[in-house]
Amino acid sequence: MSCWETVQAYAFRSFGLGERLLPKADITLCEQVTLIGSGMLWNLYFGVLALAAGFFLATGLALAKNAQNPWLRKPAEWFIFVFRGSPLFIQFFLAYEAFVLLPKVGVEFMLFGIEFNATTKWLTRAWLGALIVLFLNTSAYSAEIFYGALRSVPKGDQEAADAYGLSGWHKFRRITWPTMLRLAWPAYTNEAIFLFHATTLVYFSGFPAWKQMGDALYYASYFADKTFNPFVPYPLVAGYFIVLTLIVITLFGMVNRRLNRHLPQAQKKRFRFRPQWIR
């Protein structure tokens, strides 16, 4: 099989398309690159969706944690504490155990029809179950970052907003929220990088792989087992992730520039990579 044929056969193997059986003997470098790249699609899927959904929950949680009302504040504090305070490893395990138990617990609700039954079954699959865990996890971490930023929104900004007659939702949308994002962005970029790295844990310890459809690390360990040589597949995963990290940094950098576009040049520099020397 030529390399191009391999790409055609395995490029979307991680989603169950193309060749059904994985390569077994005489494994070529091309096959490793293609399949591990195919697995990266899952890492992208988990990372992008969890970040996108987590962004909104995180904003809500940060506001709740900042609220005066203890009924809002306490649950948000606990949620953030539990998800930030325990290893993702354990969160995956407990979530999987809980999801597996669901249909049994929900037997009496079967009356609602097949649909309910089907939805609980999906929870034990990585594409939904692991996504939920990652979503909650990144929400908690991002919420803490946003909360810290919210606390450091300059008093003057708020006073100026009041003076202009802005209040309530309008004030939040136009003044508080953009400033909060601007302050939180560098730390949030790091969180995004960490989250993409965390997606490698999904199949490694959390959820079972279905029909040999897994992420980059799943295929890497498959190849490491078949070729008995860990020095090719794992560095390949590392290489893919370095590229992914660079892309994340670039995209988040673009957003950062947009968030800071109104600031005077000198202050803008504070949020950029500063290679100049202090002396």
Closest separation in Å from C-beta 9 to another protein: 15
How is residue 68 annotated by DSSP?
S
Closest separation in Å from C-beta 78 to another protein: 10
> Could you tell me the CA-to-CA distances from 104 to 93, 95, 216 in Å, in that order?
18, 15, 33
Indicate the residue among 59 and 124 with the shorter CB distance to another protein. 124
Indicate the residue among 48 and 166 with the shorter CB distance to another protein. 48
Name the nearest CA neighbour of 101 among 79, 83, 120, 88.
120
Name the nearest CA neighbour of 17 among 237, 219, 212.
212
Closest separation in Å from C-beta 166 to another protein: 27
C-alpha 134/C-alpha 66 separation (Å) is: 23
Indicate the residue among 22 and 259 with the shorter CB distance to another protein. 22
Q: How many CB atoms lie within 10 A of CB 181?
A: 17
Closest separation in Å from C-beta 109 to another protein: 16
Binding site for another protein (CB under 8 A): 21-22, 24-25, 81-82, 84-90, 93-94, 97, 100-101, 103-104, 124, 193-194, 196-198, 200-201, 204-205, 208-212, 217, 220-222, 224-226, 228-231, 234-235, 237-238, 241-242, 244-246, 274, 277-279
Indicate the residue among 170 and 238 with the shorter CB distance to another protein. 238
Residue type at 60 in one-letter notation: G
Indicate the residue among 29 and 167 with the shorter CB distance to another protein. 29
Closest separation in Å from C-beta 133 to another protein: 13
Q: Are residues 21 and 222 in contact, defined by beta-carbon separation less than 8 angstroms?
A: no
Indicate the residue among 209 and 259 with the shorter CB distance to another protein. 209
Q: How many CB atoms lie within 10 A of CB 259?
A: 17
Closest separation in Å from C-beta 40 to another protein: 11
**92 Cβ partners below 8 Å, 6+ apart?**
130, 133, 201, 202, 205, 206, 207
